[in-house]
Amino acid sequence: MTAHRARGQRAGLTRQAVLEAAVRLVDREGMKALSMRRLGAELGVEAMTLYHYVPNKTALLDGMIEQVVAEAVPPQFGAATWREDLRAYAHALMAVLAAHPHAVPLLLSRPAMTPRNLRTMEAVVTMLHEAGFPLRRTLDILYSLTGFVVGQAAAQAGGVDGGGELAALDQDAYPLLVAAAREAGEDAAGERFEFALDALLSGFERELALTRA
């Protein structure tokens, strides 16, 4: 042990490695499998060792959200138009949450105000404000977009899209509802996501036009 390594720390172990291991564990076995003892076993250390890298379970959960969201964050906001940037981020976040479905309820349960997440939020707010949006609206846009994507991911992860169930209803009782569901098809979730995302972005664009008028 070097003089610079705190008692109980393991050489080569970092906060990033702890968070990555936690996400992998939850991906495999769900949130119920996550405990400091189990995570320590995954990393080959005692549970107490983990507290050198995450001070408590709350910090671990916040860090896991940070880790998942970071996979969707582009290298730089503002490289394209604000609309293109938001669309790309929405698609990337949706793909990341589809890859980590067990993490979706975690995102719905806590704000995860870690420094890394706050830097991402600052970058989005800056990009939108520089594009001409009033400062107070930048957070409205950020929260609206993120909430929409996480909600869509939660519906897909829970299998509650409902299209197939609607199409199987009694058409005599619900003629237009059943016809609409059958016309949409069983794989309509992706198209519905695009439709709603376009509507959301167009609404933001109208708000910007009113600001400039």
Q: Does domain 69-212 have CATH number 3.40.50.720?
A: no
CB 117 within 8 A of CB 65: yes
The model's pTM is 0.86
b/e per residue 157-183 (b: at least 16 CB within 10 A) = beeebebeebbeeeeeeeeeebeebee
Q: What's the CATH number of domain 10-55, 1.10.230.10, 1.10.3720.10, 1.10.10.60, 3.30.1490.20?
A: 1.10.10.60
Domain with CATH 1.10.10.60 in the chain: 10-55
pLDDT tens digits along 15-69: 999 999 999 999 999 999 999 999 999 999 999 999 999 999 999 999 999 999 9
Tens digit of each residue's pLDDT (9 = 90 or more) over 138-170: 999 999 999 999 999 998 887 666 667 888 899
